[in-house]
Amino acid sequence: MQTPATHMPESVVIVLFGATGDLAGRMVLPALVEVHERGLMPDRWRLIGCAAEDLDDETFRDRVEAALARGGHRLPEDWTELRSRVRYVGGTFSAAEPGDLPAVLAAAREELRQQSGAEPLVLHFLAVPPAAFAPITRGLGAHDLTDGARVVYEKPYGTSLESFEELDALVKEVLHEEQVFRIDHFLGKEAVQTIYVLRFANQLFGSEWSRASVDQVQIDVPEDLDVANRAAFYEATGAALDMLVTHLFQVAGQVAMEPPADLRDPASVIAAREAVLRAFHPLDPEEDVVLGQFEGYTDIEGVPEDSTQDTYVAARLWIDTERWRGVPFLLRTGKRMAVKDQRITLVLKPPFGPLAAELKEPNRIEICFSGEGEVVLGITVKTPGPDLAYSSGRAVLDLDDVPGGEALSPYASLISDAIIGDRSLFTTAEGLRAAFTAYLPLQGPDRPAPLPYAPGSWGPEEARRLAAPYRWCLGQ
Ligand code: BG6
């Protein structure tokens, strides 16, 4: 989002660590092309892919093409010219082993400096597993690659409160906070960004958005996909770390925040969202958390036979603010579940009086945040016909149909923000500390054993009790 405080640099060099990995291929590379095609990249840019594999520039360029094709993205019209802007550096990069990166980066900077007369921005994008953040960060510091640079860290930024603190201390030694962009791509989703406009620009929603009208909030992200192609990453993280302490907590912050002083001021937006994270009660593993593991997970190559890693998590989170006191936030996600969906549901209180007993479904406000996004109202209406009977109807607003704009994919939205320096949708160390603090009990001796569930199901039955007296709005 362009604001008075943001600035489009003359040129940028993007250094993509993990350039041959799954995340880069599926998300980051297509997003970079999208940012270019949407005119949100400076005219002059270079991309340097870095990864362990030993490839030459041409082979990496072919890999970029293949990754775009795999994701169903067409090549940009000016691709023949763009190809030459892409370089590759293979091998290890760390404080002890700089490899060729410093030289290749210096050459790219010099080229752009010559062309535009200004110092280019350098955007280091760490699309790598959490264990690689520290060595790369040390390397950037040791080889003076941080001047005029911003560094984007993927999630999870740390794997526990302790490792988060260690990483953050190191990052603060090497970088100034305004250089650090901790990404959580769920915050970049169009419909997640819509939430505060929906609330703060519509009294209809704004007035209902609190415990006075809402009995329960559900943030539900079932996934039907497998983890077979990223078993090593998954085995090291699991559902709770991969999705709960990261994406689902951040979305909860976005749903539950107080009105920021100024929606265009990144500092007020971040402060409002992260005040919510600081108000999270630490999870109660016994009462409020159900973990699951789909049957067959341990047969996947690379997963130990006795793995107790969770591929599913359902949690009841309590937020200690005046607005949300006593309202459970039900968060759920898992792999190999029945469907893929991403949905926030505010379950509204029943009306007063005898009518309440006749309603079949609670009324709801839903925000679907997968794809282009939808806002849905689940409301009670008269059943058409001669009798006075009640039915639940759904009014659906497809955000893709909203005139006047075109959505950006989440990564494109956030990369474009990092280039111009808009931090509104990035997380701070304080916010992540609060998230890891709330998550801490789940990493201790009270962590419940994951319950088995059938692939293609809605996960362990045990999770039903978390939603009582209602039910999970999706599925069962
Ligand atoms: C990633 C997680 O951050 O988000 C994956 O590591 C998950 O496990 C993915 O599948 C979901 O992202 P999206 O863009 O499909 O909503």
The CATH number assigned to the domain holding 239 equals 3.30.360.10
pLDDT at 1: 64
The C-alpha angle with vertex 471 and arms to 192 and 252, in degrees rounded to 5, equals 25
Q: Are 409 and 34 in contact (CB under 8 A)?
A: yes
Average pLDDT along the chain:
95
Residue 154 CB–ligand 1 contact under 6 Å: no
Do 239 and 362 sit in the same domain of this protein?
A: yes
The atom of ligand 1 lying closest to the CA of 410 is 14
- State the total domains in the chain: 2
Choosing from 143, 176, 247, 281, the catalytic residue is: 247
In this structure, is residue 173 part of a structural domain?
Answer: no
Residue 223 CB–ligand 1 contact under 6 Å: yes
Q: What is the pLDDT of residues 303-361, one digit of tens each?
A: 999 999 999 999 999 999 999 999 999 999 999 999 999 999 999 999 888 888 888 88
In this structure, is residue 280 part of a structural domain?
Answer: yes
In this structure, is residue 166 part of a structural domain?
Answer: no
pLDDT at 103: 97
Query: Exposure pattern of 382-403 as b/e (b: 16+ CB <10 Å)?
Result: eeeeeeeeeeeeeeeeebeeee
Do 369 and 455 sit in the same domain of this protein?
A: yes
Do 281 and 337 sit in the same domain of this protein?
A: yes
Question: Rounded to the nearest 10 degrees, what angle do helices 429-439 and 161-174 cross at?
Answer: 170
pLDDT at 476: 58
Q: Classify residue 334 by burial, with Cβ atoms within 10 Å: 0-12, 13-18, 19+.
A: buried
Query: Whole-angstrom Cα distance, residue 345 to residue 363?
Result: 10
73 a catalytic residue: no
Query: Whole-angstrom Cα distance, residue 179 to residue 157?
Result: 15
In this structure, is residue 403 part of a structural domain?
Answer: yes
Host domain of residue 394: 187-467
Ligand 1: centre distance to CA 303 (Å): 20
Which amino acid does the sequence have at 61?
R
Specify the pTM. Answer: 0.96
Do 230 and 113 sit in the same domain of this protein?
A: no
Q: Whose CA is nearest to atom 16 of ligand 1?
A: 370
Do 235 and 363 sit in the same domain of this protein?
A: yes
Do 252 and 139 sit in the same domain of this protein?
A: no
Q: What is the pLDDT of residues 247-296, one digit of tens each?
A: 999 999 999 999 999 988 999 999 999 999 999 999 999 999 999 999 99
Query: Whole-angstrom Cα distance, residue 136 to residue 145?
Result: 11
Ligand 1: centre distance to CA 222 (Å): 11
Do 202 and 113 sit in the same domain of this protein?
A: no
Show the low-confidence residues of the chain (pLDDT under 70).
1-4, 476
In this structure, is residue 472 part of a structural domain?
Answer: no
Residues 6+ apart with CB under 8 A from 199: 205, 206, 209, 259
pLDDT at 320: 97
In this structure, is residue 106 part of a structural domain?
Answer: yes
462 alpha-carbon distance from chain centroid? 27
In this structure, is residue 443 part of a structural domain?
Answer: yes
The atom of ligand 1 lying closest to the CA of 230 is 8
Do 231 and 347 sit in the same domain of this protein?
A: yes
Do 259 and 203 sit in the same domain of this protein?
A: yes
Asked which of 113, 139, 154 is the last residue of a domain, the reply is 154
Asked which of 154, 173, 205 is the last residue of a domain, the reply is 154
pLDDT at 423: 94
DSSP 359: -
Do 336 and 199 sit in the same domain of this protein?
A: yes
Do 150 and 191 sit in the same domain of this protein?
A: no
Q: 188 — phi, psi (to 5°)?
A: -90, -5
pLDDT at 274: 95
pLDDT at 353: 84
Asked which of 139, 154, 169 is the last residue of a domain, the reply is 154
In this structure, is residue 401 part of a structural domain?
Answer: yes
The CATH number assigned to the domain holding 35 equals 3.40.50.720
Ligand 1: centre distance to CA 25 (Å): 13
Do 129 and 245 sit in the same domain of this protein?
A: no
Among 186, 190, 230, say which to mutate for ligand 1: greatest number of ligand atoms within 8 Å of CB.
186
